[in-house]
Amino acid sequence: MIGSVLAIAKGGAGIVRDGERTVFVPGVVAGETVEYSVAGRLRSAWQGRLLRVLEPSPERVPPPCPHYGDCGGCNLQHMSLAEQQRSKAAILTDNLRRIAGSAPQAPPPLLASPAERCRSKAEFQVAGGAAGFFARESHRVVEVAGCLLLPRVSEEHFLRLRPRAAALDRGQWRVLSDGCALASLLEGNDGRREWLSPERSVSFAIGPHEWRVGPENFVQANLFQLAPMVALLTGVVERERPGTAADLFCGAGFFTLPLAARCDRVTALESDPANLASLRANLERNRIAHVRVLATDALRGAPLEAELAVVDPPRGGLSGRLVSALAAGPARTVVYFSCDSATFARDLRLFQARGFVLEELKLIDNFPHSDHFEIFSVLKRAELSDQ
Kindly list the residues in this chain that would bind ligand SAM in the complex (CB under 6 A): 218, 220, 249-251, 254-255, 269-272, 275, 297-299, 312-314
| CB closer to ligand SAM, 143 vs 272 | 272
How far apart are alpha carbons 133 and 68 in whole angstroms? Answer: 11
**Rounded CA gap, 47 and 13, in Å?**
9
Which residues neighbour 356 within 8 Å (Cβ) at sequence distance 6 or greater?
Answer: 327, 334, 379, 380, 381, 382
The region that residue 229 occupies, defined by phi over 0 for left and psi between -120 and 50 for alpha, beta otherwise, is alpha
Distance of closest approach, residue 253 Cβ to ligand SAM, in angstroms:
8
Q: For residues 12 and 301, which CB has a smaller minimum distance to ligand SAM in the complex?
A: 301
Q: For the chain, how big is the Rg over CA atoms in Å?
A: 22
Residue 69 CB, shortest distance to ligand SAM, in Å, is 29
Q: How far is the CB of 270 from ligand SAM (least distance, A)?
A: 5
3-state secondary structure of 158: helix
Other Cβ atoms within 10 Å of 106 Cβ, number: 8
Q: How far is CA 200 from CA 85, 182, 195, 214, in A?
A: 35, 8, 7, 6
Residues 6+ apart with CB under 8 A from 137: 42, 72
User: Which CB sits closer to ligand SAM, 307 or 340?
Assistant: 340
Question: What amino acid occupies position 106?
Answer: A
Helix (H, G, I), strand (E, B) or coil at 143: coil
In the 3-class helix/strand/coil scheme, how is 232-300 assigned residue by residue? HHHHHHHHHCCCEEEEECCCCCCCHHHHHCCCCEEEEEECCHHHHHHHHHHHHHCCCCCEEEEECCHHH
- Report the alpha-carbon distance of residue 223 to residue 204 in Å, rounded: 10
**Between residues 3 and 251, which has the closer beta carbon with respect to ligand SAM?**
251
C-beta separation of 25 from 11 below 8 A: no
Element (H, E) at 231: helix 226-240
Minimum separation from the CB atom of position 207 to ligand SAM (A): 15
Distance CA 15, CA 24 (A): 5
Least Cβ distance, residue 212 to ligand SAM (angstroms): 13
Smallest separation (angstroms) from ligand SAM to the CB of 252:
6
CB of 312 to ligand SAM, least distance (A): 4
Report, in Å, the least distance between residue 162 CB and ligand SAM: 28
CB of 260 to ligand SAM, least distance (A): 14
Task: Give the nearest distance from C-beta 151 to ligand SAM in angstroms.
Answer: 19
- Report the SS3 class of residue 165: helix
Residue closer to ligand SAM by CB (options 30, 268) is 268
Choose between 22 and 271: whose C-beta lies nearer to ligand SAM.
271
Cβ proximity to ligand SAM, 107 vs 207, nearer residue? 207
* Nearest residue (CB) to ligand SAM, 122 versus 250: 250
Strand partners, 135: 71
One-letter amino acid at 156 equals E
Compare residues 155 and 312 and give the one whose CB is closer to ligand SAM: 312
Which CB sits closer to ligand SAM, 59 or 340?
340
How far is 341 from 384, CA to CA, in rounded Å?
A: 25
In the bound state, the residue with its beta carbon closest to ligand SAM is: 251
